[in-house]
Amino acid sequence: MLEFSNFETTDLSLEKQIEWWKAIVHSINDGVLVIDHQGIVRLVNPEYLKITGCTPAMIGKPLKESRPGALLPETLVDQKTRVGVYRKTRDREYVVDMAPITVNNQIIGAVSVCKSLTEVHKLNQELKQKGDKLEQLQKKMNSLYQANYTFKQIIGKNKGLKEAVHVAERVAETDLSILITGESGTGKELFAQAIHNESRRKNQPFVPVNCAAIPPSLLESELFGYGDGAFTNAKKGGKIGLFEMANNGTIFLDEIGDMSYDLQAKLLRVLQESKIRRVGETNERRIDVRIIAATHRDLQQLVKKNRFREDLLYRLNVINLHIPPLRERKEDIPELVDSILQSSVTNLALDHVPADYTVDEQTLAFLQSYEWPGNVRELKNMIDYASCMVEGTAIKIEHLPEILTKNRVAPSSLQVSPGDKPLQQAMEEAEKNFIQETIKRFGTGIEEKKKVANALGISLATLYNKLKRHHIDF
């Protein structure tokens, strides 16, 4: 029922007030018709005439006279509000809302508000298009943030590795936070993806974030998003953060040890409250995200140096998975090499690679004698390189990267007699020479840096740290 409060003005005459109300009705985009308590048409706006095809001649006459099938007069009798009534007059279709007009508890008339079905259809089409676009964006996001690996793809019989897999499979179905530790290149993200694919969230996004690769000043807005006008050059309307993208799924925070101390406090609140706040906004948004973190650093030592929050460590380290380095599970190298060879044929699309692609025993023995500072990632890079170089049916030592075989002969950096140099110094010099040789091979451009990091089996952030430590200009 439409109610009018007492409208009193001291500066408008009655005539002016009527004109004022008419102007309001005429400005409405929907069709409006008003009858008095006797059913006489007192007011119509242009949109009503346009929708129904009526003429202004109906004003001042009984509504039933100009429109015999009109339902509005019945509203005067039963005082009921009618919503969404379908009406059709000749070739015109529209929907109508009707309500009595009450002043001081007395029915003084009734109002009809109508909208053309053409307009309704247009709005429905626009809504459907937006819905379809949203669905497409959701599918695109899910395809971008999709976990590809399962536990079946974690290869090895090493006791430490099998124990890590066993624990991971047990906790995959829970929502407990997991901290994966291990050196760069051991396969920490592979474990994270396998856990996600074994969980109830497997059909939801898996969002990986390398905390070391994003500048600290940008990491907060990347993780939590930002509101409209949060800072200079901010995207209009704001931006959704990675935590919101991962809603109902899993977020993988790699290199968590490189996250700034201040941002760690905000991450702790997410773990405690399951809420995030976009940069520049005051309201919080509830999220349902499983957090898997990983690091190659000793977080306990970082806690002692006040570089990592102890309370955050306890929250993240509910379940700890340690992935052993490749040098501690060299018995797995033959099986890993075989798996890498199979993927090389598929992923590199090497037409010249025969189906019985193999590695001879001497080469396998050499691979097992190497220490693999870059772990499985470095092993894969070496085998992929050899796959491109081989012309026969078996990979041999000469097909491996020169930088690797040079170390096999007798690198000058390690040609020292016992007592000439401390072991740590000799290893540091060997690593420096190894990096410099790789740089000479690939070059010094921006893209070349990525190639160097891949060849060394380390992340780009780790490469920068080593360049700085060894004072290598790149």
For the stretch 222-238, pLDDT in tens is 999 998 877 767 777 78
pLDDT of residue 365: 87
pLDDT at 10: 52
Using the predicted structure, report yes or no on whether residue 423 has a pLDDT greater than 80. no
Burial class from Cβ neighbours inside 10 Å (0-12, 13-18, 19+) for residue 423 reads exposed
Pairwise CA distance, residues 222 & 279, whole Å:
10
Using alpha carbons only, give the angle 240, 245, 247 rounded to the nearest 5 degrees.
125
Kindly tell me if the per-residue pLDDT of 82 is higher than 50.
Answer: yes
Residues 6+ apart with CB under 8 A from 304: none
Q: Give the pLDDT band of residue 413 (cuts 50, 70, 90).
A: very low
Q: Is the pLDDT of residue 5 over 60?
A: no
Per-residue confidence (pLDDT) for residue 134, from 0 to 100: 66
Which residues lie across from 2 on neighbouring strands? 101
Lowest-pLDDT choice from 107-121, 197-211, 442-456: 442-456
Q: In this structure, are residues 206 and 249 in contact, taking their beta carbons and an 8 Å threshold?
A: yes
Assess whether pLDDT exceeds 80 at residue 393.
no
Query: What does the pLDDT average to over 309-328?
Result: 95
Kindly give, in sequence order, each residue whose CB lies less than 8 Å from that of residue 137, ignoring residues fewer than 6 positions away.
none
User: Minimal CA–CA distance to 271: which of 311, 323, 330?
Assistant: 311
Mean of all residue pLDDT scores within the chain: 84
Exposed, middle or buried: residue 430 (CB in 10 Å: 0-12, 13-18, 19+)?
A: middle
pLDDT of 147-197, one tens digit each? 899 999 999 999 999 999 999 999 999 999 999 999 999 999 999 999 999
Q: What's the pLDDT at 132? A: 66
Residue 194 in 3-state DSSP?
Answer: helix
Distance separating alpha carbons of residues 372 and 415, to the nearest angstrom? 20
pLDDT digits (tens, 9 = 90+) for 102-138: 998 899 999 999 988 876 666 777 777 776 666 666 6
Question: Distance between terminal CA atoms of the chain?
Answer: 77
Residue 424 is predicted with a pLDDT of: 58
Percent of residues, the chain, with pLDDT higher than 90: 48
The DSSP letter of residue 257 is G
Higher-confidence position of 6 and 302: 302
Are 252 and 192 in contact by the 8 Å Cβ rule? The answer is yes
Query: Tokens 């096999």 sit at which residue?
Result: 408
247/288 Cα distance (integer angstroms): 5
For the segment 253-280, the average pLDDT, to the nearest whole number, is 94
Indicate whether 414 pLDDT > 50.
no
Looking at residue 472, its amino acid is: I
What is the arithmetic mean of pLDDT over 442-454?
Answer: 78
User: Looking at per-residue confidence, does 89 or 359 come out higher?
Assistant: 359
The answer to whether 154 and 212 have CB atoms below 8 angstroms apart is no
